[in-house]
Every structure is written in C-alpha cells, then in structure tokens.
Amino acid sequence: MKFIAAIVLSALLGYLVYIFNDTLPWWGVAVAAFIAGATIPQKAGFSWLSGFLGIALLWFFLAWWLDKENTGILSARMAQVLPFGGNTTLMLAATALVGGLVGGFGALTGAFIRKKAD
C-alpha cells in the first residue's frame, strides 16, 4: 500500500511541477520524488522504484498527450534527429526513461535522508 501511495504522490507532485513549468525547472520532478521518498517510509529499493514509476508514467502520459495534440509532428522530427529511426514510440519511451531515472534517484535520496534522520 505504501508503494502505490508513493507512486501516486510522486506523480501528483510531478504534475504540480508540470503545471508550474513556467517558474519551475524540468528537474523539479526530482524534488517532487524526493518529497515522496522522504515522507513515505519504504526500503531504498522500493523508494527508487516508486519514484521511477511515478515520474516515468507521468512523463510518458504527458508526452503522449502532447504528441497527440500536435499530431506527432515534433516527436517524429526528434525521432529522426535521435537514433530512433523515426519511431515515435521509442521517443516517448526514452522520454519516460529519462524522467523515471530522475524521479527514481530523487526518491532514493529522500529515502536515504529519512533513514539518516531516524
């Protein structure tokens, strides 16, 4: 139950970062996952995984939604520039992977800080 709560909290706080993207940097999702990792007590591995999944799913959904809204123009061009051979699905997966890694390490840092404070 804590694991799912941490995923949801990471995603919700990450979405708040997305809403305020004009004032907050892209790496604000690391801070969001850090807060989730520090507030919900879990083992370090579960904390990393919950931060990873929360932010990766959020970034994948947001990238997919924005891609759908602009009929895939930007992701198709970026997939041609990057070594994805024009495959937009790989582009969306790479976006989710980068976001997930940032979120996972943010949550792991929060878990370690919580453990150190105890």
Residues (pLDDT < 50) of the chain are: none
pTM above 0.85, yes or no: yes
Structure token digits, residue 37: 């990792």
CA 23 to chain centre: 18
pLDDT at residue number 118: 73
- b/e map of 4-35 (b: 16 or more CB within 10 Å)? eebbebbbebbbebbeeeeeeeeebbbbbbbb
| Amino acid occupying residue 110 | G
How many CB atoms sit inside 10 A of residue 80's CB? Answer: 14
pLDDT at residue number 69: 94
